Structure 1
Amino acid sequence: MKYLLLFIFLLTGCTTTQETMHSWQGRHIEEVIRYWGAPSSMLQLEDGQSVYSWVSNWGSAYLMSTCRQSFTTSSKGIIRNWRYTGCPHWQSISMDKINRMSSDSEDD
């Protein structure tokens, strides 16, 4: 029974990578940096937009994969587009989850 409860907890606590990336759209890139840390790279485009990328490795000792998550921002730093490659299908730091944690702590 306790394994079933653990499985349900893990299942409901996970957010897909797509949901995580989408949750940041329309927000300022500084919010992502505040929660994810400094990006691995930043590219300034000629039209004033910027591309911020975070790169991490995940997997096991036998099979490693590289996850790249990128956001394209307007000249004012607002996230307009996003993209990811090589990432697991789950993530844990979506903006929705941060908002829920904030509102839960305000209730205390």
Structure 2
Amino acid sequence: MGLSKTDRKLRIRRRIRKVSFGTESRPRLSVFRSNKEIYAQVIDDNAGKTLVAVSSRDKGLEATGTKTEIANAVGKAVAEKALKAGIETVAFDRGGNLYHGRVKALAEGAREGGLKF
């Protein structure tokens, strides 16, 4: 019998994490997507600390429209916060999701905001 959808996603997530590792000079931009919300964190894996975190649930995020438009706004917000913290380049971790739809919109928003992957 084949893998379930969650087992497949977990396997892909582990495979991505082997390659994508956040350091102090190049932290990891981790994306988590639920059915309703989207979350992004910039993480230094060496120190085990989250440097910047933004989600679609944040009160300061003035985003309306479709879930894809909100994901784009979250990407711009995480880029803005990261640049204020002195972070310019990141390693993108899509978290087992396909690079399509909301995950892609978040990545493009972060690039528009000034982050380099």
Above 0.5 in TM-score? no
TM-score bracket, normalised by the shorter chain, equals: under 0.3
Could you say which structure has the larger radius of gyration? 1
> Which one has the bigger strand percentage?
1
Q: TM-score, normalised by structure 1?
A: 0.26
